Structure 1
Amino acid sequence: MIQNLAAGQQGFTSNVFLVAGERTVLVDVGNQFDVVAATREYVDDIDAVVLTHTHPDHVGNLAAVVDAFDVDVWGFDTDADGVDHAIADGETVLLGDDEYEALHTPGHKDDHLCFYSRSNQTLFAGDLVFANGGFGRTDLEEGDRGLLVESVGRVLDTVDEELQAMHTGHGPSVTANPHTDIELALQAARMRA
């Protein structure tokens, strides 16, 4: 089960995906809403938090989640506040019942990761790409349009054309031909580079 706990929230928050299964995790924790209560509507406990990156809208609720569930936090850079364990580029992580490959995808932020499962054809894209060819901002600290273009290209080269679902850091998940949305994001990012 993959559930967006931030759906319908009005605050400045990222999406928060509860991935339930053998290893129940939150992918990002959002900001400015009670993510602990939202999590407990579906499960009693979680095993870990996995971060796509550490912008405030993705980690604002981190202290509350760690306090409530007594879990470790995994991300790319253990120098970032709250990150206990590093996930290296190319490392495999268990989210729910499926293995995901971690892809280091800087450009929006230096510590940005995407997670791709070939077995269930699912991508957690964070703020790298969005529905309808949108892509992450590069005007923030650590933003770099050239790196972002390279990262989107890497994701496009990695995922299969049969990708079934792309869960993004903001906006709706894409379940109808998400491979096309990634192609469009690459074209758009190159045009504005």
Structure 2
Amino acid sequence: MKKVPWINIGKKCKILGKKAKNLGCDVCTPISYENGNSDKFPDVKVSVEGREICLHTWELVEDSLKSFHSCVEICPGVKFFEWRGYENDSNTILFEKGDTRILVDSGHFHLLGSLLKSLDDEGILLDSIKAGLYTHCHPDHFDSADFLQQAGVKIGLSKKEEDYLRGEGGLLFRFFGADVPEVKNEIPLEKGKLKLGKIELSIFSTPGHSPGSVCIYWDEKKVLCAGDVVFPDGAFGRCDFPGGSYQILLDSFEIFDDLEIDYLLSGHGYAIIGKENVVKSIKESRNNLRAVIFSPW
């Protein structure tokens, strides 16, 4: 099991402060300092909602409480957690309607504390999330998926991306010194409609940045989670990773022609709001992508 220094499964853990004699909450076994002058907790396990969670040093606990995600409510039912840290990580999107909550792209595992803190600030607990869906399996989007699954969140990605993860896609994790997440694909994301609780989504196959990449569209809200297909400011997903193709990515841009998008939420960068702004931004990115493909240099 992956280890995290802080987590809010079921109930909010109350961090009592660095000078406190213990770290505890009403669901955690209190942990005492080894001695009064120590800044570290012993490496022990505690039970949180019936699951064993390992707690490391106090410094890690303290770091995990710092949030580099800026949460904006894009429209009712859609929260956009924009990553603003100095390391590379993906944005995260939360869809909610009634008691149904769906998370899209949870990012790097070692930066998960930041996302959990931001969710907690919004009053959102991990065990209230029905599903974690992933646009693709690159580490900056998918690295924390196995931990979410251990916490009870159902995980979904496309079957083609799952196969890619088991093959050459896993090379990216090893390149960055990370383990390939061991995840059961409980919600295969295939082209067409997907109903989860009270939310109905449309899934579009958009390979190019990765072979099994998808875009996730909430028809009711006209919100598109574009992953790393397209970015603001005329940018687009890089295709020099294993399994990437600029020509295939350009072909994937065709899905945008038939969609009415009021909110474009990419895997990196800011949210693009307003249909005219979305159309303009996608057009600029497509033109720049064509220039790369057909450049004589």
* TM-score under structure 2 length normalisation: 0.59
Counterpart of 1:140 in 2: which secondary structure?
coil
Q: Whole-Å Cα distance in 2 between the matches of residues 55 and 115 of structure 1?
A: 16
Contact 2:107 2:143 in 1 (8 A): yes
Question: Could you tell me the percent identity over the aligned residues?
Answer: 26
The residue that corresponds to 1:9 in the other structure is: 85
Partners of 1:97 and 1:56 lie apart in 2 by 29
The answer to whether residue 120 in structure 2 is matched with residue 40 in structure 1 is yes
1:135 and 1:185 in contact (8 A); partners too? yes
Whether the 8 Å CA contact 2:82–2:269 is kept in 1: the answer is: no
SS in 1 for 2:208: coil
Larger RCO (alpha carbons 8 Å, 6+ apart): 1
Stretches of structure 2 lacking an aligned partner (at least 5 in a row): 1-76, 166-181
> Which digits, 9 at most, give the CA deviation of each residue in 1:106-152, with x for residues without a partner?
00001100012333221111000011221100111111011000001
User: 5 Å matches for 1:1-193?
Assistant: 1-22=77-98, 23-31=100-108, 32-33=110-111, 34=113, 35-42=115-122, 43-44=124-125, 45-68=128-151, 70-77=152-159, 78-79=162-163, 80=165, 81-82=182-183, 83-94=185-196, 98-153=199-254, 155-160=255-260, 163-176=261-274, 177-193=277-293
- Cα distance in 2 for residues equivalent to 1:169 and 1:87: 17
Give the Cα separation in 2 of the matches to 1:59 and 1:134. Answer: 21
Counterpart secondary structure, 1:38: helix
Partner SS state of residue 224, structure 2 = strand
- The CA distance in 2 between the partners of 1:56 and 1:93, in whole Å, is 26
Following superposition, the deviation at residue 6 of structure 1 comes to 4.5
Out of 36-45 and 123-132, give the one that drifted further.
Answer: 36-45
How big is the shift at 1:41? 2.6
Indicate conservation of the 8 Å contact 1:17/1:26, yes or no. Answer: yes
- In structure 2, relative to structure 1, the CA distance for the partners of 1:17 and 1:117 (3 Å cut) is closer
Between Structure 1 and Structure 2, whose CA radius of gyration is higher? Answer: 2
CA drift of 1:63 comes to: 2.6
The number of aligned residues is 188
Distance 2:207 2:247 in 1: 10
